[in-house]
Amino acid sequence: MRIHITLLTLLLLLGCAQSGLTPRDPSNPYYAPPAGSRIELKRPISVPAGVTRVFLQRGKLVQGMRFDRYVPSCNFEVRELSERPQTIEPETFLVVRVQREEAEVVTRPGPPVRVASSAQDGGLPMVTESIHLWLGSSQQPNLMRLTCRGAFDDVWRAYPPSIDEMRTALGDYAGIVLP
């Protein structure tokens, strides 16, 4: 019995330690920019009045109907809501904290009566996995974070954006410099 408990404990600990084994590969969706990375904003970005976030996708600023949930995206977020447009000026921002998030966006109800069941009609949620990069700046303390999200997908296929996908979303507006 002791051997079973010891083995189970060891397996659980190894499972928890897997995040430390993620290779430093910018194409790997499970390797996030670590704290100490830098975000280099190369062009000014205007945050419209009445909102706190501005979205980038495929290297372009997007909003409203042009935003595609099925393509990785990033957004810069300011702390204060303003009735006037705000500008985030070019600067190099330090990543002070990294936070992962999974957001359930839609739950598709399954049919009321099932003759045969499949994962496609099982009522499982659709999600998007995100990485929040909390930014530090003494010159622009109103800039809070850069959030990048992977493609919106079924829960078993969703994954966070890779650094390469983040760079594609940011285009020539911003760069990610790893420590």
More confident call, 178 vs 4: 178
Among the listed ranges 77-86, 105-114, 134-143, 147-156, which one has the minimum average pLDDT value?
Answer: 105-114
The arithmetic mean of pLDDT across residues 85-96, rounded, is 98
For 139, residues 6+ apart whose C-beta sits below 8 A from its C-beta are 89, 91
Average pLDDT over the chain, rounded to an integer: 85
**C-alpha separations of 46 from 17, 30, 77 in Å:** 41, 30, 11
Confidence of residue 23 (pLDDT cuts 50, 70, 90): confident
Confidence of residue 117 (pLDDT cuts 50, 70, 90): very low
CB 113 within 8 A of CB 72: no
Q: Provide the pLDDT for residue 156.
A: 86
The arithmetic mean of pLDDT across residues 156-178, rounded, is 96
CA distance 130 to 147: 7
Type of residue numbered 170: L
DSSP code at position 34: P
Residue 14 has pLDDT above 90, yes or no: no
Residue 59 has pLDDT above 80, yes or no: yes
The arithmetic mean of pLDDT across residues 156-177, rounded, is 96
CB 125 within 8 A of CB 106: yes
Residue 161 has pLDDT above 90, yes or no: yes
